[in-house]
Structure 1
Amino acid sequence: MMANLFSSFDPATTFNMSLNWLSTIIGLLIIPPMFWLIPSRLSILWFNIIITLHKEFKILINKSNGSTLIFISLFSLILFNNFMGLFPYIFTSTSHMTMSLALALPLWLTFMLFGWIQNTTHMFSHLIPVGTPPILMPFMVCIETISNIIRPGTLAIRLSANIIAGHLLMTLMGNTGPSLSLLLMNILIISQILLLILETAVSIIQSYVFTVLSTLYSSEVI
């Protein structure tokens, strides 16, 4: 049971296909060409979302020379893959640590290298919060160092765990369908629809959280 349950997250066993990672970019093939040619309601909606994200990330970066392009692109990539995973028979790439850690680790490593090379004194000041008693300073340095090191792991685990949890719950509920009566089947279908709406919200929220935390981490090294 558990092997069948988790096999939906295994790109090597899902339908015995080795190209399941193409789900990361395959959605680009189904975007209507009119989206790129003329202003449409979809393009106007997306432009408004981008402008809103740009204004918010600009405040978080808190620097006039900061660029929000990489963070908006990161949000778009994660949101796109989260939505693709909601469709039936499509491999969910963001549920794998391979995908989420590949996004979080290079960002964090780049921020750390830039901060320690360009603003070494500023980075050292982050290790000891203001007002820390002298006797606690060695412990605070250790705690702040550990919390800084585990940041890419927490980003990746938060994204993957939330995506996996929702998909597993939908799979478990769906597997009970054949053994239910007609009344319970109707209740199950309604529950699955509500859960799908919840997963849509989770996809948006997790994309936003991942991007906002990455933006906050970048603002600490400037």
Structure 2
Amino acid sequence: MMTNLFSVFDPAASLSLSLNWASLFLMMLLVIPMFWLIPNKSSILIETATKKLHQEFKTLLGESAFQGSTLVFISLFILIVINNFMGLFPYIFTASSHLSMTLTLALPLWMTFMLFGWIKNTNYMFAHLVPQSTPGALMPFMVLIESISNVIRPITLSVRLMANMVAGHLLMTLLGNQTAIASNIILITLLMTQILLLTLESAVAIIQSYVFAVLTTLYSSEITSH
């Protein structure tokens, strides 16, 4: 019996080993063969999506971005979207619904951007704390507000992804638990609702991965473009 509503997202593993996080590596079984097998529809789809993402991230980063920097954000997008989709399959652990994973992705990237900005572009980072045309009396408050907004960026990134993954999975779990006691008419309604929710979660899996990667790209462009 569940001790709380969120325990379903962290099921107990056998042999007293925490094997749930091994689901992160399931994507390697699908991605790696695409690099050496004869090109198929899946590999063509991934290649097309990668090229589109490269063009968009390159536009967001601007001309001053380092060559090959889009590879980091494309890899981030692919990692998140595959793990989000893996969580939609039965009996597969949804790693992206845990703050320990999402914060692990967001915090090192944010810390890297901040260290690079304050070491290489110190004057620009100080100037970025006070927007243009700010009255002198409001400058101390603007510095405080901008500093807080920069500090909470990794938290908002990780919590946004985690909350969206948890919300849909929790709703599907709650509806699925009602099928055992539901009548035939209600059962059909629940099944139709579950199908619609599964379709919605598939879209959310892509959208949240895209939002995470785009916001990370924008945070990077603020540091490098000046």
Name the structure 2 match of 1:20: 20
Q: 1 CA distance for matches of 2:190 and 2:13?
A: 25
Contact 1:60 1:219 survives alignment (8 Å): yes
Contact 1:177 1:188 survives alignment (8 Å): yes
Contact 1:8 1:14 survives alignment (8 Å): no
Contact 2:9 2:93 survives alignment (8 Å): yes
Name the structure 2 match of 1:167: 169
SS in 1 for 2:92: coil
Contact 1:115 1:123 survives alignment (8 Å): yes
The C-alpha deviation readout for 1:50-94, integer Å capped at 9, x for no partner, is 000000000110125432000000000000110110001111101
Question: Structure 1 stretches (4+) deviating beyond 4 angstroms?
Answer: 14-17
Q: RMSD over aligned Cα, in angstroms?
A: 1.7
The C-alpha deviation readout for 1:154-175, integer Å capped at 9, x for no partner, is 0000000100001000000001
SS in 2 for 1:214: helix
Name the structure 2 match of 1:120: 122
**TM-score, normalised via structure 1 length:** 0.94
Q: Deviation of residue 33 (structure 1)?
A: 3.4
Count of paired positions: 221
Change beyond 3 A, Cα 1:34–1:121? closer
- Percentage of matched positions with identical amino acids: 62
SS in 1 for 2:131: coil
**TM-score, normalised via structure 2 length:** 0.93
The C-alpha deviation readout for 1:134-165, integer Å capped at 9, x for no partner, is 10000000000001000000000000010000
Structure 2, unmatched stretches of 5+, are: none
Q: Which letter maps to 1:216? A: L
Q: Which letter maps to 2:24? A: T
Q: Deviation of residue 14 (structure 1)?
A: 5.4
Larger deviation, residues 1-10 vs 84-93: 1-10
Q: Deviation of residue 26 (structure 1)?
A: 1.8
Change beyond 3 A, Cα 1:41–1:195? same
Q: 2 CA distance for matches of 1:125 and 1:163?
A: 37
